[in-house]
Amino acid sequence: MKLQNITDIDGFFKVVNECKGSVELVTPDGDVLNLKSKLCQFVSMAKLFNNDTYIKELDLKLSEPSDFQKIMAFVMYGD
């Protein structure tokens, strides 16, 4: 699942933390990071920001179909 132009980063991580299954970020190099880990959240987002106030693009892997609905609802409508 690819997401683009996320402007509410705090809201995005709130939804990620509410997901039942795993939520993993796939980096451009193919590394897979657990986005439910606070350390991974800080490290991965620091690299993605590139001095912008929004996240340009994320490639996520989700283990639960219901989590897909949560993430998509956030992207479409906000919190």
Indicate the pTM of the whole model. Answer: 0.72
Tell me the pLDDT of the chain (79 aa) as tens digits.
Answer: 888 877 788 888 899 999 999 999 887 788 888 989 988 877 766 665 555 555 667 789 999 999 999 998 988 887 5
- pLDDT the model gives residue 21: 94
- pLDDT the model gives residue 4: 80
Looking at the domain 2-77, which fold is it? Histidine-containing Protein; Chain: A; (3.30.1340)
Determine the Cα–Cα distance for residues 9 and 67; give it in Å rounded to an integer: 17
